[in-house]
Amino acid sequence: MRRPRRRRRTFFPALVLAFSFAASCAVKPAPPPAPAETSVRPGVNDAYRADSDPEKWTQRFEVEGREIYDERERIVAAVGLSRGLRVADVGSGTGLFTIPFARAVGESGRVFAVDILPEFLEHVRERADVERLRNVETVLCTERSIELPESSVDVVFVCDTYHHFEYPMSTLGSIHRALKPGGELVVIDFERIPGRSRQWTLDHVRAGKEIVSEEIASAGFELVGETALLRENYFLRFRKRPAR
């Protein structure tokens, strides 16, 4: 008596499922990198590169009648540094604020003088040596980055330098990374108000306070205060928001 023939099982559905699962787990090609930020003000720093003599710029920056110089002591006090803090003076220039910041944070603190010109940084090193300040470190930055490690500073100070950021969003991104959680960004720059500001300011400064604040907020910061201290300049304080 013949045995009934067994029906041959088919595994096609299982194979299809396995193939689909493997395909879904396959490594997908990375998306193309975002296009690099374009310059918002080409050549804005050419004057410094063309003549980087620190003595010349000291005579221009550190002179009576320039509001930032006249109010330097009150500005340092308003920043509110304490012993042990790590501070980045971005656009340190001739060291007008680097030196008093170094005194304010003491030997247990650190001040990073950040600038795009090696000549300015050498000048700051010499000033720190004369003052016997061993807590000053110079950092050569680029037009797109302040070149500081992640979560390395408590405060970033930017005085009359934001309008020299040729790539503001890239630079702000590097500032955000360099700040510790809850770190603060202090920005002092020229008020740009048509009909009220000097013509030099209107011609030289790219954006006013409102646009600057919007750019900084979009880079991951929140405005926490404005200090009414200056006439030609505004004084804004931002705090780093946690990354989402």
Whether residue 230 has pLDDT greater than 50: yes
Report the half-sphere exposure of 134 (CA within 13 A, side-chain side): 2
Q: pLDDT > 90: what percent of the chain?
A: 84
Find the mean pLDDT for residues 159-169: 97
Q: What is the mean pLDDT of the chain?
A: 90
User: What's the mean pLDDT in 160-188?
Assistant: 97
- How does DSSP classify residue 238? E
Residue 16 has pLDDT above 60, yes or no: no
Angle at 229 between CA 121 and CA 153, to 5 degrees: 40
- Condensed to tens digits (0 to 9), the pLDDT of residues 117-161 reads 999 999 999 999 999 999 999 999 999 999 999 999 999 999 999
User: What are the distances in angstroms from CA 136 to CA 91, 189, 193?
Assistant: 14, 24, 36
Domain 65-240 has CATH 3.40.50.150: yes
CB 197 within 8 A of CB 230: no
Task: State the pLDDT confidence band at 21, using cuts at 50, 70 and 90.
Answer: very low
Q: Over the stretch 68-89, which tens digit does the pLDDT of each residue have? A: 999 999 999 999 999 999 999 9
Domain ranges of the chain: 65-240
With a CB cutoff of 8 Å and minimum separation 6, the contacts of 223 are 213, 216, 217, 236, 237, 238
